[in-house]
Amino acid sequence: MIEQLIAGYQRFKQGYFQENQALLQRLADEGQNPRVAIIACCDSRVDPSLMLDCSPGDLFIVRNVANLVPPCEASGAWHGTSAALQFAVCGLNVEHIVVLGHTQCGGIKSMFDDQEHDEMEFIRPWMLLAGRAKQTVLANPSIESVEDRVHQCGLESIKTSLGNLLTFPWISEKIRENKLQIHGWHYDIATAQLLSFDSVQGAFHAVDQKT
C-alpha cells in the first residue's frame, strides 16, 4: 500500500502539481485564506474537498471521530478541535463553520454497541460528547431499529455540536456581529445526498431543494 501512495504522489507531482503551479505557488507565497472551516469525521469514505469540488486553500478542515465539537472548557486536557477552531475563527477569520456529519459513522455506531471493548478507552469518553443526542433518540419510541437509531443520532449529534459552537465566546460574538455563520450538514455516502439543518424549522432538508 505504501508503494501505491508513493506512486500516487509521483502522479500528483507530474500531473496536478504541474497543471496547477500558479495556484499552488500563490498559496505558498501568500499563505492560506479559506472562507470556510469544516468539522468533518475521520472516516476515509468522506473527503470534504472531493465531495464539495474544492481546490487547495478553499477549506480549513478539522477532522475527528464523529465530527464532534466539544463545549468550551478551560480544563487541563488536550483541546485539538478547540484549538483548530480558534485558529480558524480568530486567526484566519473564516466566515462559515460547517459541521459535516455522514451516514454509517463508526463513532456514532459505537454508542449503540452493547459489547464492552477495553481497547476503546479513548473513543468511548470522546463519544460522551454525543450523549445528549443518544438520549434524545432513545426517548423516541418510534425509532426502533439500531440502524435507524444510529442514523438519527448522527443527525442529533450535529445539532449538539452546533450548540457547543455557541459556547465559545469568540464564535458567538462574531455571529452576533454577522461576521460568522454556522451550518450543520449531513452527507449520505451511498447516495451523495446532502442535508442541511434549518434552525428555524428545526429540521434537515436536502440542499437540492433550496436551489
For residue 56, the domain's CATH number is 3.40.1050.10
Inter-residue contact 110 to 127 (CB < 8 Å): yes
How many C-beta atoms lie closer than 10 Å to residue 20's C-beta? 14
Q: Are 147 and 49 in a shared domain?
A: yes
State pLDDT tens for residues 123-171: 989 999 999 999 999 999 999 899 999 999 999 999 999 999 999 999 9
Asked if residue 150 lies in contact with residue 108, where contact means CB atoms within 8 angstroms, the answer is yes
Average pLDDT in the 47-73 region? 97
The whole model's pTM is what?
0.94
- Same domain as 6, residue 55: no
Looking at the fold, whether 84 and 139 belong to one and the same domain comes out as yes
Mean pLDDT along residues 76-94: 93
Same domain, 83 and 145: yes
To the nearest whole number, what is the mean pLDDT of the chain?
94
- Same domain, residue pair 54 and 128: yes
Mean pLDDT within 19-32: 97
> Is 5 in the same domain as 101?
no
Q: What is the pLDDT, as a whole number, of residue 113?
A: 84
Is a pLDDT exceeding 70 seen at residue 116?
no
Grid cell of 119 as nine digits: 481497547
pLDDT band at 182 (very low <50, low <70, confident <90, very high): very high
pLDDT of residue 76: 67
Q: Are residues 9 and 42 in the same domain?
A: no
Q: pLDDT at residue 210 above 90?
A: no
Between residues 77 and 89, which one has the greater pLDDT? Answer: 89
Same domain as 80, residue 22 = no
| Number of domains into which the chain is organized | 2
Judgement on whether residues 11 and 95 belong to the same structural domain of the protein: no
| 44 and 9 belong to one structural domain | no
Nearest to 167 by CA among 69, 80, 57: 69
DSSP element (H, E) containing 100: strand 96-102
Domain boundaries, position 19: 1-31
First to last CA, the chain: 41
The answer, yes or no, to whether residue 202 has pLDDT greater than 80, is yes
Q: What is the pLDDT of residue 117?
A: 57
49 and 109 in a single domain? The answer is yes
pLDDT at 211 over 90: no
State mean pLDDT over 31-57: 97
Question: Is the same domain home to 6 and 72?
Answer: no
Asked if 134 and 111 count as a contact pair (C-beta separation under 8 A), the reply is yes
pLDDT above 60 for 122: yes
Contact 67, 48 (CB under 8 A): no
- Calculate mean pLDDT across residues 103-124: 84
d(CA 35, CA 64): 20
DSSP per-residue string spanning 28-58: HHH----SEEEEEE--TT--HHHHTT--TTS
